[in-house]
Structure 1
């Protein structure tokens, strides 16, 4: 990278607020924004800007304060290696999973398998058309798991949308046999209450447990009735996945969880979980559950037990995801302010909302507590048309340091250090400029994960990116090799 990129970013950090304040202010409320769920089947588009506001944005680009439309900027220690645009699957790109030389990329229309044996030139191995947002994807052995969180006419890959008010509608988990990566076979389906927004695997030798996160029940939905205060636990026998079945629905919020507004203005009411991350080597899990953050034991995977629960009714609107550090003495929770459909990386929103919350885990056993230490948010302001918020990321495995790579939608990919829980700092980044200057648009990295020496990112609109990170702080991670990675099933990177 040339020095031009670094110079542009310095100017942008110092000058963007003055140049674009009017642009930002028109789109955001003065008080805390009400949290909404993820975009669902429809990306956030259509919020137009006036001609004068577009002129302000254009001037900011001209002055080097923000990147130009689709312009790529990055820090000196990141090198973009490849970008593979969308092909047959035209929906929003979503989550990623990895196994050996393969990457599995979710899309609202199905999933795509890449051969990443040469990271500079990934090759498409298969594309499976199977519509059903979000199509959150995980793999374990010969099985691939796909979440369906939109009401469908049936459980087939040929289904169509159908109102959730109809009893015959279907949402839940789909299971594929991927023993032949070029020809995945759909082998099983399990319907779950309120669908499957995300899911998390707890692998065992003969079976795989699947924790299904879903939320937003409604009395008019026959298969998604309130209260919906827990998660579905599915047991999948590896040798006979067609026998997959729900074995429990543990109640995580016997008191109903965070009541949300009007008691806690701007905070989501808890009606289930958005995402769960497990650390099987420590029998621990962390749950991001709308208005609540959880720490729980999974010693008995069919019966998870709550250890501690926290809320942040000042700055967190929607507890979205969780990541442990390697020592399991910290958890990073993300806040998806605006539900992944708003521009929140600007001075009006500030550094504490739509951010990461870093919590230390103190104490022992069932007496452990989550103790808040600080917030982290990228300090690279974005245009008012750029949906930007904390999203999915993973640990970068370096002994003695807590390093993470994370997606921020149109805020790009951020690499940051939280070894000091109270003083996190960004150490690398990659991002594209606005997709548009005349309408708010959902785009940018949905997930950004570190796997076997490279960063892989699934950009909602632009496709599959591969980045190389060269930095003395992260270089030791290049020696760590994993046979499989589902980020929500965090491995012990140094004991496998």
Structure 2
């Protein structure tokens, strides 16, 4: 297992990244790009600037029922999933970020109410979950790898075992991790997908319970699995130096910590572990909690080697909530999820470290986590553009009113933020002012 050395922050909270001002970015082994700029950046002045937007589906259905999105490593394509309908997935051309354009639409069955999407590290393939019973757990879509094209995609592989809410491909190996979002199952399955037409299950790992999401850090060769409910709530860190055989390193159990039921809005609490990412430049892990009602879940920063913590013994050092966080009335469907956190990415930004996050009714939010002990929101964009033209179906309307931002992703290759909103589709942003 590879380990990064901890980078001690100075009093000005410099991220300590290598390189000189203006130096080009370095390509990582997995094909992604890590910023090596060291320009001084004032994160408090960093803002989101909208570039473009698309709502590719006719309505109704799904009337704005968009869900997950992902960006290919080179930043040339995004894929957009849907929820509460049969619209399936869209491949979005990002050649001009100001005019994102749907290249294909690939419908799903009536039994596919939630679709997570991820690109494989091999060009021309993406994954989509089929969370209910037909045709199964996940599908592999060929849009240019062998049998398909961007305008004529083909489902070339599928698995009908179990129920997968989210999937995570290894960034550099033909391995897929699928979460078992059920209380009676172990956390996640591992599939060999070397042959996309014949995915093969090679193992099941984790404590029993509802594993919600997985992230893989290919440089550290570790995996973080977040568990929302069941016998274990919290997260588990695995060594994936052998990607097909994860080995547990450590875990953080929420059970012994203050729960949200015992806390006020904005007070650090633990529950419903949802989604996490490792800081690319420091030995830190950011883990978000998502709660449908009551006190909204926030984002934790864990020391996993930065100072006193480790991968074996993570130590919480910081906590923040969405900028307009407030209690969500129990049982009131239109307040469900409004002010809790959702999917995010970490952004190395000059000498600062930011998060871009889709935080439901708060829209897309930028957080400054340069000082991990005092993370804070610094800007937001309410993703409600064009909402007047949307006629949501009953399932989407139950979320209340837009914005309801689902996921924000950052592409370092093109310094591009791509986000989805359940009502209003896919957005592209840039962060400004740029370093230098």
Which of residues 446, 457, 476 in structure 1 aligns to 2:406? 446
Matches within 5 A, 1:65-464: 77-88=47-58, 90=62, 92-99=65-72, 100=74, 101-108=76-83, 109-131=87-109, 132-140=112-120, 141=122, 142-152=124-134, 155=135, 171-179=136-144, 180-193=149-162, 195-204=163-172, 208-217=174-183, 226=184, 228-237=185-194, 240-250=195-205, 252-253=206-207, 256=208, 271-290=209-228, 291-312=233-254, 313=257, 314=259, 315-338=269-292, 342=293, 349=295, 353-362=296-305, 368-381=312-325, 385-386=334-335, 387-398=338-349, 400-432=351-383, 441=400, 443=402, 444-451=404-411, 452-464=414-426
Partner-residue secondary structure (3-state), 2:314:
strand
1:285 positional shift:
1.2
Structure 1 segments (4+ residues) deviating >3 Å? 363-368, 381-386, 432-436
1:368 positional shift:
3.4
Report the structure, 1 or 2, having the larger helix content: 1
Indicate if the aligned counterparts of 2:249 and 2:311 stay in contact, CA closer than 8 A. Answer: yes
Residues 275 and 322 of structure 1: is their aligned pair in 2 closer, same or farther, counting only changes over 3 Å?
same
Indicate if the aligned counterparts of 1:316 and 1:337 stay in contact, CA closer than 8 A. Answer: no
Indicate if the aligned counterparts of 1:295 and 1:370 stay in contact, CA closer than 8 A. Answer: no
Indicate if the aligned counterparts of 1:177 and 1:185 stay in contact, CA closer than 8 A. Answer: yes
Residues 136 and 440 of structure 1: is their aligned pair in 2 closer, same or farther, counting only changes over 3 Å?
closer
1:81 positional shift:
2.4
Larger Rg: 1
1:83 positional shift:
2.1
Deviations 1:44-83 (A, max 9, x none): xxxxxxxxxxxxxxxxxxxxxxxxxxxxxxx983322222
Q: Distance in 2 between matches of 1:304 and 1:122?
A: 38
| Cross-structure match for 2:427 | 465
Q: Distance in 1 between matches of 2:289 and 2:218?
A: 24
Residues 460 and 383 of structure 1: is their aligned pair in 2 closer, same or farther, counting only changes over 3 Å?
farther
Residues 469 and 366 of structure 1: is their aligned pair in 2 closer, same or farther, counting only changes over 3 Å?
closer
Q: Distance in 2 between matches of 1:469 and 1:95?
A: 21
Q: Distance in 2 between matches of 1:234 and 1:417?
A: 36
Q: Distance in 2 between matches of 1:383 and 1:454?
A: 32
Partner-residue secondary structure (3-state), 2:251:
strand
Matches within 5 A, 1:477-488: none
Q: Distance in 1 between matches of 2:203 and 2:55?
A: 40
Q: Distance in 2 between matches of 1:192 and 1:355?
A: 33
Normalising by the residue count of structure 2, what TM-score does the alignment of the two structures yield? 0.72
Residue segments in structure 1 that go unaligned for 5+ positions in a row: 1-74, 156-170, 218-225, 257-270, 477-496
Indicate if the aligned counterparts of 2:362 and 2:380 stay in contact, CA closer than 8 A. Answer: no
Residues 230 and 280 of structure 1: is their aligned pair in 2 closer, same or farther, counting only changes over 3 Å?
same
Q: Distance in 2 between matches of 1:377 and 1:232?
A: 31
Report the structure, 1 or 2, having the larger strand content: 2
Q: Distance in 2 between matches of 1:462 and 1:330?
A: 33
Deviations 1:341-376 (A, max 9, x none): x4x6xxxx3xxx410111010289986321001211
Q: Distance in 2 between matches of 1:197 and 1:442?
A: 24
Q: Distance in 2 between matches of 1:471 and 1:441?
A: 33
Indicate if the aligned counterparts of 1:286 and 1:331 stay in contact, CA closer than 8 A. Answer: no
Indicate if the aligned counterparts of 1:80 and 1:466 stay in contact, CA closer than 8 A. Answer: yes
